[in-house]
Amino acid sequence: MTAPVRLAKRLAESVPCSRREAELYITGGWVTVDGQVVEEPQFMVSQQRVELHPEASLTPIEPATILFHLPPGMDANAAQQLICADTRAADDPSGIHLLKQHFIRLTQGIPLERNASGLLVFTQDWHVARKLKDDAATLEQEYVVEVAGELPPDGLKLLNHGLSFNGRALPPVKVSWQNETRLRFALKGVQPGQIAHMCKSVGLQVLAMKRLRIGRVSMAKLPPGQWRYLMPHERF
């Protein structure tokens, strides 16, 4: 019987390469043990088959940013528990190599409106996290809101400009009908409860709302309960 050794040591001896290079290969998801990817350099192996992917790269792992479609009725705080390999969208166009490390130390950016579904952002990238925090008041968000009730003649005009919230006049926003029961809101610096309050102020009841976009990044056709990576060229 072969005494168990750390995977990094076995790989360094078999490639051969330095122990540090072996660790980078392993944490980069390029190493399999008996056909299964293992990302932990300290994983103990004995007689198992250890293989290095032929396209393996020593490029350091870039922090990930994940776009998740929160389904209706789900608590946004529980959403992160759904982010795993099995819920990645099949048509994720990013081409990013999936790693288990991408699912740890994620920070949520710009919370959803109360009782809303739709686009959530989770990131490991401090640049993205700071952008979403510092520019939250100036990044435009797009919501589609299902409503019931009768809008008065000047209701749409008031929704665009003329309402107050928490004792302060709201800045101009862009509100238009998407269809007979859905309004499209494009607004900046959304405050919790603001959209429902705006609708109530003009005699409308909010039945559901979904966030479609933050800044220049859109959820597009991402299915509910699934996620994709933010692509390298995408910027909020």
pLDDT in tens, 104-145: 889 999 999 989 999 999 999 999 999 999 999 999 999 999
Give the helix/strand (H/E) hosting 75.
none
Question: Model confidence at 28, in pLDDT bands (50, 70, 90)?
Answer: confident
CA dist., res. 35 & res. 55, Å (int)? 16
Give the number of residues written for the chain: 236
Give the helix/strand (H/E) hosting 171.
none
- Average pLDDT rounded to a whole number, residues 193-221: 96
Asked whether 210 and 118 are in contact (CB, 8 A), the reply is: yes
Where residue 170 falls (left for φ over 0; alpha for ψ -120 to 50; beta otherwise) is: beta
CA dist., res. 135 & res. 62, Å (int)? 23
Domains with residue ranges and CATH for the chain: 5-52 (3.10.290.10), 65-136+216-229 (3.30.70), 140-214 (3.30.70.1560)
pLDDT at 176: 97
pLDDT tens by residue, 73-111: 998 878 888 999 999 999 999 988 888 889 988 999 999
Task: Quote the pTM value.
Answer: 0.81
Phi/psi of residue 188, nearest 5 degrees: -115, 150
Phi/psi of residue 192, nearest 5 degrees: -55, 125
pLDDT at 1: 56
Angle at the Cα of 64 from the Cα atoms of 60 and 65, rounded to 5 degrees? 160
For tokens 């992917």, the residue is: 53
pLDDT at 135: 95
For tokens 């350099």, the residue is: 41
The token duo for 143 is: 């919501």
Give the helix/strand (H/E) hosting 148.
strand 140-149
